[in-house]
């Protein structure tokens, strides 16, 4: 297995504070694996700069000059984590037997890369890094994460519980991933659709080494909405079902009102009418928003614009 060439892809956005430490640890991991004859000594680490505003790209340039193990890709502008990750995966797939993606914040335990490679040796085309717990998260983040995975499961979206974008993929799996052309990327949902033999390795996630999280609440909410609307039409079906229930209820209410009218037992009913109007109005606006989300995605898909543009490449 010493001919197995590995490329580690690291998407980066404003990571100048942590990047040198990340590079140091990943380089040490590759050296140890190479000395143990587990991987090819020509294995690489590719940093993908997602249009950072700080000096992330300058750090990548210096790392490349100091050691050719480090390579770099710079996108022409910020395109988001998923697009930056895809750019790195598509660049690496033609130069490696397996590609491992990991975030730059050093929260994912790189020691389990050994276990990932062992699972690959057993025949797994995709190996997911799965968090064994969420001790490093606060109550809010832990609760919303559990809620997110449960909602995705209810809506029929296949995901790996407690798995983000820390995974190993074979060249074969990446070639198939390339065939998925959607603009609205949600790799956590796309990768399980590939259908190859998979495996998981568990690890405990640590706190960030330095810098701030690149996923504040707003981005987390948008990411969740993208995941749901990109892989499930159940929200639209739920709207149709709810609309049917409201229609049936309105018919029953109409019958009741007519009976009361005939019996002469009429009440002003101002409160009931006002509450009904506001309730139905709110449901309608919410339903239009859900439908609009899907229409917006269709609009973006039909334009077929490139998901990213690579401005510069640092390689051998």
CATH number at 165 reads 3.90.550.10
> What residues contact 2, with CB distance under 8 A and at least 6 apart?
37, 38, 39, 40
pLDDT in tens, 229-253: 666 667 777 777 777 777 677 667 6
In a domain, 1, yes or no: no
- 257, 188: one domain: no
- 148, 271: one domain: no
- 150, 202: one domain: yes
- 20, 150: one domain: yes
CB 10 within 8 A of CB 24: no
The three-point CA angle 137-154-249 to 5° equals 125
- 106, 201: one domain: yes
User: What's the chain's Rg over C-alpha atoms?
Assistant: 25
The runs of H, that is alpha helices, within the chain are 19-35, 56-66, 81-92, 113-121, 139-154, 171-177, 187-190, 217-231, 234-263, 270-303
- 170, 284: one domain: no
- pLDDT at position 172 is 95
| Predicted confidence band of residue 1 (pLDDT cuts 50, 70, 90) | very low
In a domain, 187, yes or no: yes
Look at residue 195 and tell me whether its pLDDT is greater than 70.
Answer: yes
- 27, 128: one domain: yes
Q: Would strands 70-75 and 44-49 be described as parallel, antiparallel, or unpaired?
A: parallel
Q: Count of H helices and E strands in the chain?
A: 10, 8
- 252, 227: one domain: no
- pLDDT at position 27 is 96
> What residues contact 279, with CB distance under 8 A and at least 6 apart?
none
- 117, 239: one domain: no
In a domain, 138, yes or no: yes
Domain count, the chain: 2
pLDDT in tens, 200-225: 999 988 776 555 555 555 666 666 66
CB 249 within 8 A of CB 207: no
In a domain, 171, yes or no: yes
> Of 284, 177, 155, 168, nearest to 224 (Cα)?
155
> What residues contact 258, with CB distance under 8 A and at least 6 apart?
none
Parent domain of 264: 234-303
- 44, 99: one domain: yes
pLDDT in tens, 105-164: 888 999 999 999 999 999 999 999 998 866 666 666 667 667 776 777 776 677 787 788
pLDDT in tens, 92-120: 999 999 999 999 988 899 999 999 999 99
Section 39-49 average pLDDT: 96
Kindly state the percentage of the chain with pLDDT values over 70.
Answer: 75
In a domain, 58, yes or no: yes
CA–CA gap between residue 122 and residue 138 (Å, rounded)? 36
pLDDT in tens, 251-303: 676 677 667 667 766 566 655 675 677 677 767 777 777 777 778 777 777 77
**C-alpha dist (Å) from residue 262 to 166, 256, 259:** 68, 10, 5
- pLDDT at position 228 is 66
- 249, 185: one domain: no
- The SS3 assignment for 126 reads strand
In a domain, 43, yes or no: yes
**C-alpha dist (Å) from residue 138 to 107, 143, 145, 182:** 15, 9, 11, 33
- 14, 142: one domain: yes
């Amino acid at each position: 297995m010493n001919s197995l060439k590995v490329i580690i892809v690291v998407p980066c956005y404003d990571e100048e504070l942590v990047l040198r430490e990340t590079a140091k640890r990943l380089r040490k991991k590759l050296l140890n694996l190479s000395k143990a004859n587990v991987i090819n000594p020509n294995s690489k680490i590719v940093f993908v700069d997602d249009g950072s505003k700080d000096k992330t790209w300058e750090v990548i340039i210096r790392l490349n000059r100091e050691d050719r193990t480090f390579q770099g890709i710079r996108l022409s502008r910020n395109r988001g984590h998923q697009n930056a990750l895809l750019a790195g995966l598509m660049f690496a797939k033609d130069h490696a037997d397996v590609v491992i993606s990991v975030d730059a914040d050093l929260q994912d335990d790189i020691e389990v890369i050994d276990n990932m490679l062992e699972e690959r040796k057993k025949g797994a085309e995709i190996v997911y890094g799965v968090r064994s717990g969420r001790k490093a998260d606060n109550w809010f983040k832990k609760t919303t994460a559990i809620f997110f995975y449960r909602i995705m499961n209810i809506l029929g979206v296949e995901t790996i519980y407690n798995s983000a974008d820390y995974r190993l993929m074979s060249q074969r799996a990446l070639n198939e991933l390339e065939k998925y052309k959607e603009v609205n990327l949600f790799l956590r949902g796309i990768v399980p659709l590939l259908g190859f033999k998979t495996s998981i390795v568990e690890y405990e996630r640590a706190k960030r080494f330095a810098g701030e999280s690149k996923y504040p609440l707003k981005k987390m909410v948008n990411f969740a909405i993208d995941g749901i609307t990109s892989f499930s039409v159940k929200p639209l079906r739920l709207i149709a079902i709810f609309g049917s229930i409201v229609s049936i209820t309105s018919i029953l209410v109409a019958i009741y009102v007519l009976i009361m009218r005939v019996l002469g037992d009429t009440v002003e009913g101002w409160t009931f009418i006002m509450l009904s109007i506001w309730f139905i109005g709110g449901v309608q606006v919410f339903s239009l928003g859900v439908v609009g989300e899907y229409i917006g995605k269709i609009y973006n898909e039909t334009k077929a614009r490139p998901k990213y543009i690579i401005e510069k490449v640092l390689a051998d």
